[in-house]
Amino acid sequence: MIIKKEGKRYFVAGFDSNYLAKAVTCFISLSNHHNNFEIHAFCFDDLSYNVIKKLNTKNLIPYKQSDFETKELAKAKIGKTKLYEYYWACKPFLIRKVMDEQNADMVTYIDADFMFFDSPENIFEEISNADVLIQPNNFSSEEVKQFMPVGYYCTCYETFRNTPNGREILNWWHRKDMEWCLAEFKPGLFADQKYLDDWRVRFKNVKENSVVGANIAPWNMQRYDFSLKKRKIYVNSSPLIYFHYHSFKINLITLDYMITGDRNNYYRITKNAEKIVYPPYVKLIKSVIRKLKKIPEYNKYAMEYPESNIKLVDEKSVAKFASYLEAKGS
């Protein structure tokens, strides 16, 4: 059901062609449950920008890299061995850019590998009078060992109000990301994410999202039961709002897929989630890929890089996925 609310919701997402199909899938799923939003899509390569322009969807607004890359951002790219480290570092700047240019009272960053199953309005209600809303990882007991190195919070969904305090926090995060943002584990540091650990102490008016159906993911699904009632998915007794399909991999030619694996982590996907939560995503992203491949430049990309969404992952993960496809007879 689409929930109507006053005021447009402004979302920010950043990605390259590696996550393009996922980003379009995310957009379609949000469109199914909300009718007053914009996703400002910051495209880190020409292909993703050109394809979204050709899709010509009014509330999915693409920016090419030259539209937003400042000298400061370009300088922050130097020394990074993984492109996604740079994308992470850009998040606060991109949020602030949309806030300024759209004169938005509130802006939310989302990762591209989401699928929405319900309106996010319950999450917006959660922010209440706070200036910033941040999303905990909610690790399951078997994955909680990750808490200390990667951080208590997940920088996949955070909302900032356009207030002096909200902007102060956003500017602080931006400065820190410009100083250091790497996929390395150091005391008190990891990517753009560990910086959030003390925000509720360091700053005022920061709230932690407690909505159960938000950010259900491979590292916390083990603590939940999933059920399907009248074609609606529930997490325990709460509606699933969005699932974070982190580590999902799909071959752009064969459409064979693997639902786990990231860096050196291979999450235990529960049978319950595999049966209920993954089939809708698989169905939608396959449909999206087929549609995108009708665009000649994306079809060429798919032929050249069929396993594009793992090209930036370590060699061990790539080898494992290749073996998986071979075993399936692809």
Cβ atoms of residues 38 and 27 within 8 Å: no
Q: Is the pLDDT of residue 252 over 60?
A: yes
Total domains in the fold of the chain: 2
Convert the pLDDT of each residue in 84-120 to its tens digit. 999 999 999 999 999 999 999 999 999 999 999 999 9
Same domain, 150 and 299: no
Share of residues in the chain with pLDDT > 90 (%)? 81
Q: CATH no. for residue 93?
A: 3.90.550.10
DSSP letter for 41, please: E
Angle between helices 46-55 and 296-304 (to 10 degrees): 140
pLDDT range class, residue 61, cuts 50, 70, 90: very high
How confident is the model at residue 64, as a pLDDT? 97
Same domain, 197 and 269: no
Nearest-angstrom CA–CA distance, 270 and 226: 10
**Residues 6+ away with beta carbon under 8 Å from 179:** none
Give me the sign of the Cα torsion angle 189, 191, 194, 199: positive
- Between 99 and 262, whose confidence is greater? 99
How confident is the model at residue 309, as a pLDDT? 62
**Residues 6+ away with beta carbon under 8 Å from 123:** 133, 157, 159, 209, 211, 214, 241
User: Of the residues 186, 208, 230, which one is the last residue of a structural domain?
Assistant: 208
Convert the pLDDT of each residue in 287-305 to its tens digit. 999 999 999 999 999 999 9
Nearest-angstrom CA–CA distance, 221 and 213: 11
Q: 244 has which bridge partners?
A: 114
Same domain, 276 and 193: no
Same domain, 84 and 113: yes
DSSP letter for 153, please: B
Same domain, 180 and 239: no
Same domain, 161 and 86: yes
How confident is the model at residue 307, as a pLDDT? 84
Whether the model clears a pTM of 0.85, i.e. scores above it, the answer is: yes
Same domain, 201 and 226: no
DSSP letter for 4, please: P
Domain that holds residue 113: 9-208
